[in-house]
Amino acid sequence: MRRFASGLARVLASRKFFVFIVVLLVAQAVWLALSFNYPMLWDEYYHVGLIQFYAHHLSPFLTSQPHSLDIYGNVISSPKYLYHYLMSFPFRIVLLFTHNLTAEVISLRFMNIALFAGGLVAWRAALLKISSSKALVHFVLLALVLLPLSSLLAAQVNYDNLVFLLSALLVLWSLKFMKAKKFEARWLALVVGVGLLACVVKLEIAPVFAALVIFLTYWAIRHHGKKTPKLIIRSFQTSRRLAQVGVVILLVAGFGLFIERFGVNLVQYHALQPGCSKVLDYQRCLKFSPYNYERILLARKAKDPQPLDGPLAFIYHDWAKKNFNQYFTTGTQISYGNFVSSNPLAIPFFTALAAIAIALVAFAARGWRLTKRPEIQLTLLVILALGLVLFVVNYADYRHYGTPWAIQGRYLLPAVPLFMLVAAMAVRVAIKSRAIKAGLASLVILGLLAGGGVLTDIIAHESNWLWPNQTVRNVNRSVQNAFRFLDYKFTD
């Protein structure tokens, strides 16, 4: 058993194994991109439509909203436009060669796969700043790639793929600043500048950004005290001229775009993300599917009000369950506003549940000692900040609409690699036997392989989820039949 444990550690720690992890993610996502019809589950029509729009405009700023964009709700003051605008530039190259919608969508999906794969590379670098064990980091990334949500997200056009990459970079630069032998303000500049820009990609990354800025400020003051401002200035002055210009441009762009969108929204609409009805008239907002559904929920609540759970009951009955389930399920959009999803497959679902339970016990037993390390403190602050903010927003929506609304597990993805690493580190600290640790790691990998990753999508899909191509449908049906023996659904 010791030989097995040593061999497993060597395999996991090798660079070739990390390359295998990236290839595995790409292969799974490419399969889905070439198999699943457009649009896919998480508002792919929204992202593709806005990319198509910006591909014909040089500026991301709109003075008025065309009626053709009303299907996407409030676009003119939306604080989540930067992904669509940036993606429009490689998409313009695609338009030079084709105007076929299927080819356009698949091209955009491949770009998003590249973003997620880039995120894996960045997360590896970040996690290795927290744990020096390549075997442990690679194990975490393999488990992440085997979660059905990862390949499903990577395969579709969605700004969460860029958020996944940016959150990894922000954590990496924060850790580089903390671990640098001398004070290097460039890492702070990157965190602040890119963090501000990331908020204009998707505001849900703001808790991660805020947690990093707060912790780095605390860390700098604790280690350098009143000298911190002088050290920042000196570091900037001693850097190369090109680096100085780059820092200035980044910070000006970050603060400029942040203030242009959020500052104007606060002054004009008294909200960071103004709802559709604050910007457009009622009839125009009705073209936006989520706005319609919100009206239905409010009408239902007014007609038949039901008793609502308190915060703890809401976590138990809805929030934790829905977030966790979404990492092990699949689905698609059959038609505009008509979403379908499957129940999780039992083996990967309960494998992950058991792994979390073991990690929590391990953390309570000995893993809590890890919190003495500043990089673990930063990690836990990021996890708690993102989780708490999303819970508060979801619970407020629950009280407003009278039902759980817009609970999306993928919004927690920027903290998932950090959570998984801390969990794995806690188990490693609590369990001394290398044989037991190797056995647990093997069981987790085997359990996630038994229906996890793209297999969840292959096993659970229906024929109308796929592109209307007979070859695509025949291949997916054949593979589906081959893995039917893993089709044990979990129902709550």
Q: What is the pLDDT of residue 375?
A: 93
- Residue 295, both tokens: 């009206």
CA 116 to chain centroid:
9
Q: Residue 113 — left, alpha, or beta (φ > 0 → left; ψ -120 to 50 → alpha)?
A: alpha
Could you read off the pLDDT tens digit of each residue along the chain, which spans 492 residues? 677 777 877 888 899 999 999 999 999 999 999 999 999 888 899 999 999 999 998 888 888 889 889 899 888 888 899 999 999 999 999 999 988 999 999 999 999 999 999 999 999 999 999 998 999 999 999 999 999 999 999 999 999 999 999 999 999 999 999 988 888 888 999 999 999 999 999 998 999 999 999 999 998 888 888 888 888 888 777 878 888 888 889 999 999 999 999 998 899 888 888 888 888 888 888 888 888 888 888 888 888 888 888 999 999 889 999 999 999 999 888 776 677 888 888 899 999 999 999 999 999 988 888 899 999 999 999 999 999 999 999 999 989 888 888 889 899 999 999 999 999 999 998 888 888 888 888 899 999 999 889 999 999 888 889 989 999 999 999 998 988 888 776 555
DSSP structural state of residue 489: B
Q: Which residue has the tokens 């549940």?
A: 353
Q: What is the pLDDT of residue 127?
A: 96
Q: What is the pLDDT of residue 432?
A: 86
Q: What is the pLDDT of residue 436?
A: 86
In the chain, where are the structural domains located?
Answer: 2-276+309-486
pTM comes to 0.92
Q: How many CB atoms lie within 10 A of CB 61?
A: 11
Q: For 200-240, where are the alpha helices, taking DSSP H only?
A: 206-224, 228-238
Q: For 259-373, where are the alpha helices, taking DSSP H only?
A: 264-269, 276-279, 282-285, 289-303, 311-314, 320-325, 346-365
Q: What is the pLDDT of residue 337?
A: 65
Measuring CA to CA, which residue among 211, 16, 135, 223 is closest to residue 442?
135
Q: What is the pLDDT of residue 381?
A: 96
CA 109 to chain centroid:
16
Tell me if 236 sits within 8 A of 187, measured CB to CB.
no
Tell me if 117 sits within 8 A of 22, measured CB to CB.
yes
DSSP structural state of residue 344: P
Phi and psi angles of residue 4, each rounded to the nearest 5 degrees, phi first? -65, -45
- Residue 99, both tokens: 């105007």
CA pair distance 270, 445, nearest whole angstrom: 48
Counting beta carbons within 10 angstroms of the beta carbon of residue 52, is it exposed (0 to 12), middle (13 to 18) or buried (19 or more)?
Answer: middle
